A and B are shown apart, each in its own frame.
Chain A
Amino acid sequence: EVQLVESGGDLVKPGGSLRLSCEVSGLTFSNAWMGWVRQAPGKGLEWVGRIKSKTDGGTTDYGTPVKGRFTITRDDSRDTLYLQMNSLKTEDTAVYYCNTDSLVRNIWGQGTLVTVSS
């Protein structure tokens, strides 16, 4: 069974930084393209970004509101995906989901809550 488990969500002040992790099991992580999607409280889904597998170049793409502030990385030796968030704003408050960026095998974690508030 494929499982994605996010962690690292916390309360952080505006301007601060936070790193989220997503541990993956049950699939060959190194071959997987992975992504992050967020959802502000009571709001809709917002695409944060994705990272391709290293064999496909390992490149990243980001949503417009987070470009230049957020960085997606992966550690294939640990089967773990990361989201480094810098210069956080109150509007970044959301549940952050990691998911497999795949149509045939589209799996999501349960999410981790990030709250940006003074």
Chain B
Amino acid sequence: DIVMTQSPDSLAVSLGERATINCKSSQSVLYSSSNENYLAWYQQKPGQPPKLLIYWASTRGSGVPDRFSGSGSGTDFTLTISSLQAEDVAVYYCQQYYSTPFSFGQGTKLELK
């Protein structure tokens, strides 16, 4: 099974500042024939189900603000929020869908400083 490891576990950022969350997979999730990374990012707010933010490592989901961006390839990925808004306080998860069982990272809790 592919193991996903996020860092840090928690992060405090001031309003308007940049937030960066990292995700590392135990093996590459880059599918060579398509040159796509099978990596997604989710946002989960308290009491709500997760919401898909990013897929294919860097494609924003429908309606996702452009302050959210994803980057990386192979085994190392980053979610960046360029200018933190109050509504971005949440837990963020990466997930690989390269091979089953699809696995999530442990989550990164993003708070306001």
A interface with B by C-beta (< 8 Å):
37, 44-47, 49-50, 61-64, 97, 99, 103-104, 106, 108-111
B contact residues, range: 20 to 34
* Beta-carbon nearest neighbor of B104 in chain A: A45
Residues of chain B within 8 A (CB-CB) of A109 are: 49
C-alpha gap A110/B100 in the complex (Å) = 24
Residues of chain A within 8 A (CB-CB) of B56 are: 103
Residues of chain A within 8 A (CB-CB) of B104 are: 44-47
Q: Is B52 an interface residue (CB 8 A)?
A: yes
* Beta-carbon nearest neighbor of B91 in chain A: A44
Q: Is the pair B103, A47 in contact by a Cβ cutoff of 8 Å?
A: yes
B111 CB, nearest partner CB in chain A, Å: 16
* Beta-carbon nearest neighbor of A6 in chain B: B49
Q: A63-B101, A103-B55, A111-B49 are in contact. List 18 more A-B contacts (CB 8 A).
A: A44-B93, A44-B105, A44-B107, A45-B50, A45-B93, A45-B107, A46-B104, A47-B102, A50-B100, A50-B102, A61-B100, A64-B1, A64-B101, A103-B40, A103-B56, A106-B61, A109-B49, A110-B49
